[in-house]
Amino acid sequence: MAKISNKEIALAIYSALRGKKGTELKSALESVIHFLSRRRLLSQTGQILSHLQKIEDKESGILRIKLESTHSAGTNLKRQLKKILEKRYRVKEVIFDEKVKPELLGGVRLETEDEVIDLSLKGKINRLKEHLTA
């Protein structure tokens, strides 16, 4: 029997729960929990929920970005980044998960699910170092 990935399980759960409300939703959720328990997948719920969140975000036009900078990014910078990212990724909303990382030395580093945009001083120094030693 082929193994089902957590991503495939999340997609199936999303499809099964889509548009359901009230007792119908409660019954469907009970079925999901029973399925996960029967297949001994309850330990995988964190990863499955993470995939569900990504599916829901994509359907809703939401982009989650990890924003790293040397100090807290101001509202003006976030507003500018939000405008650029909404246009670039064609999404309705951008949500920032902001982390302060003094080791970046300056600038910002943006990370999506599948792309990194490193505009930090540390990143530029590392790229220059690679170029000079290559």
Between CA 82 and CA 95 the distance in angstroms is 8
What was the pLDDT predicted at 1?
Answer: 54
pLDDT band with cut points at 50, 70 and 90 for residue 74: confident
Q: What average pLDDT does the segment 124-133 reach? A: 91
List C-alpha distances in Å: 39 to 4, 6, 17, 33, 45.
Answer: 11, 12, 19, 10, 12
Q: How many CA atoms lie within 13 A of 70 on its CB side?
A: 11
pLDDT in tens, 100-127: 999 989 989 999 988 999 999 999 999 9
Give the mean pLDDT of the chain.
91
Percentage with pLDDT > 90 across the chain: 77
Q: What is the pLDDT of residue 134?
A: 76
Report residue 62 as tokens. Answer: 């939401």
pLDDT of residue 73: 85
Which pLDDT tens digit goes with each residue over 15-73?
A: 999 989 999 999 999 999 999 999 898 999 999 999 999 999 999 999 999 999 998 88
Chain centre to alpha carbon of residue 36: 23
pLDDT band at 3 (very low <50, low <70, confident <90, very high): confident
Give CA–CA dist 72/47, Å, rounded: 29
Query: What six digits make up the tokens of 86?
Result: 């909404």
Q: How much is the pLDDT for 110? A: 94
**Nearest in space to 94 (alpha carbons), one of 66, 74, 114:** 66
